[in-house]
């Protein structure tokens, strides 16, 4: 844990507070930095890469924001309870939770090692459930929970079957939770990125394959982490009338 402003307490003028899981790189980093620039105090969650999480904290604070790095396994309910407790101790509460933590292991369904399926299920499904459950219990009035799905649930691309299955589960729990929180003034949505230029997507793909995928979007390019962070910032801030939805941030790919 790397508290930058450990004396911060909830006051009438205190900023809103966001927890971003998987914030040490890729889309999670862009989300954390964007929410920090929007004036939220950000708890930068990481799984193993503390050094990268500290870099995100440094970037947020260098831009005038407030941030803290906290590690832990998203599928471990005790570790995540400690994460939420840290946010409350340092900043007085939690207003926004963004679940970007996830892993993607690709294989045709007939050939997939079931150990890989179990790994994805543990992080993508159980991890999202654990964090969503804590968010449902602790988010303050006016809060927002934003989970992460994938546009592959629509595109049905070969080798993505097991990964898409985990994200289908995320969508189901997200939409149901939005309705279970009726009367709380808390929104629950999912963002479903399309192909986005992150290491998770780019690793192992030949340049020709990447170019072919980019050409399928009407905008003629891959998404960027900042593109996805814009969608999250909308749902975390002004998008209060969007609730119980899956927002496809994919440039129109088909």
Which residues does the annotation mark as catalytic?
Answer: 163
Q: Tell me the CA distances in angstroms from 189 to 172, 199, 240, 242, one per residue in order.
A: 11, 25, 11, 8
Distance separating the N- and C-terminal Cα atoms of the chain:
42
* Three-state secondary-structure class, residue 248: strand
Q: What is the CA radius of gyration of the chain?
A: 17
The closest alpha carbon to 48, from 27, 17, 20, 69, belongs to: 69
Contacting residues for 176 by C-beta, under 8 A, at least 6 apart: none
Tell me if 191 sits within 8 A of 231, measured CB to CB: yes
Q: Tell me the CA distances in angstroms from 118 to 121, 122, 126, 163, 244, one per residue in order.
A: 5, 6, 10, 11, 27
For the beta sheet containing 144-148, the strands, ordered from the edge strand earlier in sequence to the opposite edge, are 2-3, 67-71, 41-46, 17-21, 96-99, 144-148, 187-193, 246-249
């Amino acid at each position: 844990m790397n508290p930058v402003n450990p004396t911060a307490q909830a006051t009438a003028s205190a900023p809103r507070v966001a927890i971003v899981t998987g914030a040490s790189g890729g889309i999670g980093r862009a989300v954390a930095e964007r929410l920090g620039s929007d004036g939220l105090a950000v708890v930068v969650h990481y799984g193993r890469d503390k050094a990268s999480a500290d870099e995100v904290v440094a970037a947020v604070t260098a831009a005038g924001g407030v941030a803290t790095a906290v590690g832990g396994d998203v599928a471990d309910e005790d570790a995540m309870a400690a994460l939420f407790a840290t946010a409350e101790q340092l900043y007085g509460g939690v207003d926004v939770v963004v679940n970007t933590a996830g892993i993607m292991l690709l294989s045709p369904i007939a050939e997939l090692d079931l150990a890989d399926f179990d790994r994805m299920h543990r992080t993508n499904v159980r991890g999202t459930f654990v964090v969503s459950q804590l968010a449902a219990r602790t988010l303050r009035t006016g809060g927002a929970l934003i989970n992460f799905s994938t546009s592959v649930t629509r595109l049905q691309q070969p080798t993505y079957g097991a990964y898409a299955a985990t994200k289908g589960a995320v969508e189901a729990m997200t939409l149901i939770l939005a309705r279970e929180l009726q009367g709380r003034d808390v929104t629950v949505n999912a963002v479903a990125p399309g192909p986005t230029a992150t290491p998770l997507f780019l690793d192992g793909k030949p340049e020709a394959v990447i170019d072919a995928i980019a050409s399928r979007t009407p905008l003629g390019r891959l998404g960027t982490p900042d593109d996805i962070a814009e969608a999250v910032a909308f749902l975390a801030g002004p998008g209060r009338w969007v609730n119980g939805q899956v927002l496809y941030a994919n440039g129109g790919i088909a």
